[in-house]
Structure 1
Amino acid sequence: MQRAAVFDVDGTLVDTNHLHVVTWWEAFRQAGHDVPMHAVHRAVGLPSTDLIAHLLGDDRDTDRDAGLSAAHKALYGQYMDRLPALPGAGDLLRRLHRDGWTVVLATSASGAELGALRRAIDADDAITDIAGAEDVREGKPAPEPVELALELAGAPASQAVFVGDTVWDMRAGSAAGVRCLGVLCGGIPRADLAEAGAEAVYADPADLLGRLEGSPLA
């Protein structure tokens, strides 16, 4: 039976969360919205339209959503040629691949952004498939991205582990019925990840790799 190791990307394998915070904050500022950075940080990991709705509310002018997303994309694009992988990210994926896990990414990124993230991780030889933003109708915290990842891996939820850095990741994985592991490198507190469904929490991919034998990915 196939075993699936499903990974979020931003903040889990690549150190991008705070870049997203600053560029979303600037996109909101340019559009005349005063949104605190701490609030943006807590929303990172949601699909763009959901992030905007989460921060501005349902009574906003939704006709401006596309402009906000485009502004964020343009601002974030300045960094895409130098996105830094988190410590141990590529090594962890390659180790799991060697150990017989089917590695699939579940991310809200797509297009050029997804390509930049893959280049940063530099472990395409270990990645079997990707469930990207364009492949699902609902992003996290809905379970659909994780469920699609399992389908791509050919693995049941009972034989899968999902690794992520946000409460949205943990809620999506829990709703999909998989075991969830959290990492702190996205900046979300351990207690919040545990409350949202994380079975165990690690500092970053290198920490998980170093303690792999005692983890659900052993």
Structure 2
Amino acid sequence: MEPTAAVLFDLDGTLVDGRYLHTVCWWQALAQYGHRVPMARVHAALGMSVEQLLDEVLGPGRRPGEDDPITAAHTALHAQYWPALRPFEAAGPLLRECAARGWQVVLLGPAAARELAVLRRALAADDLPVGDDLLVAAGPPGPERLRAALALVDAAAEHSVLVADTVWQVRAAERIGLPCIAVRTSGIADEELRVAGAVEVHQDLGALLAQLNDSLLARPRVFGKVPGR
């Protein structure tokens, strides 16, 4: 029996245009609790889990007991933008083309149920199926969420691909031997993404779709072979 070849897409920041909103909301939430952190530093930490992000941006200034209220403040601020969230222009066509080529598509979503529901609705704006049968692995960013996503479809990392937009996601994929295609939808530089381990870097989803025949996503990869259509 041939193993499943899966392509994992991060919802927030890769398929749905919202990464910069998180930067602003974390920056404002931190300021509410007296932490004056440069916005660029916050942006560079996106793609981490909440605990890792706060540790990265606050360092020794992180105070016990503040994580939950800062996180709640971020969620409240970010919720103001939820009605405006939209998918990137090529998100729908790219997902449909990957499925048509034989890839098992799995989406990666946040652990918070409300935010996950919002992102699913945002993706639905592009006429994508977002019913209960949509395969979504929800949880904090990191290797464990990637492993859970692969387990959903009984896929092996070496036969699968992650499409993501931050350095931390690329590094998480590398830790479990999962090839990663990076897109610059969050404004991260090509060199940073490649140094982190990305095997391909594309300007956006449209550029990836246009170059799909020359990409790792050209065909599902099984045991190192490229099966015909």
- TM-score by length of structure 2 reads 0.87
CA distance in 1, matches of 2:48, 2:110: 7
- Equivalent residue number for residue 105 of structure 1: 107
Determine if the alignment matches structure 1 residue 124 to structure 2 residue 126: no
The residue matched to 1:35 in structure 2 has which SS? coil
CA distance in 2, matches of 1:160, 1:62: 40
Look at both structures and tell me which one has the larger radius of gyration over its CA atoms: 2
- Amino acid in the other structure paired with 2:45: A
Determine if the alignment matches structure 1 residue 171 to structure 2 residue 171: yes
Change in Cα spacing, 1:165 to 1:24, as seen in structure 2 (3 Å) is same
- TM-score by length of structure 1 reads 0.92
- Equivalent residue number for residue 53 of structure 2: 51
Structure 1 stretches lacking a partner, 5+ long: 134-138
CA distance in 2, matches of 1:94, 1:105: 13
- Amino acid in the other structure paired with 1:95: E
Change in Cα spacing, 1:177 to 1:146, as seen in structure 2 (3 Å) is same
CA distance in 1, matches of 2:108, 2:172: 10
CA distance in 1, matches of 2:62, 2:39: 19
CA distance in 1, matches of 2:97, 2:118: 22
Residues 146-185 of structure 1: CA deviation (Å, up to 9, x unaligned): 1111111211112100011001110011111111100001
- Equivalent residue number for residue 136 of structure 1: none
In the alignment, is the contact (CA less than 8 A) between 2:16 and 2:85 conserved in 1? yes
- Equivalent residue number for residue 20 of structure 1: 22
Alignment of 1:194-213 (within 5 A): 194-213=194-213
Which of 63, 66, 72 is matched with 2:65 structurally? 63
In the alignment, is the contact (CA less than 8 A) between 1:104 and 1:149 conserved in 2? yes
The residue matched to 2:177 in structure 1 has which SS? coil
| Identical counterparts, % of pairs | 42
Structure 1 position 188, deviation (Å): 0.7
Structure 1 position 204, deviation (Å): 1.2
CA distance in 1, matches of 2:158, 2:41: 34
- Amino acid in the other structure paired with 1:124: P
Structure 2 stretches lacking a partner, 5+ long: 219-229
Structure 1 position 4, deviation (Å): 0.2
> Would you say how many aligned residue pairs link Structure 1 and Structure 2?
212
The residue matched to 2:76 in structure 1 has which SS? helix
- Equivalent residue number for residue 87 of structure 1: 89
Q: CA RMSD of the aligned region, Å? A: 1.6
The residue matched to 2:136 in structure 1 has which SS? strand
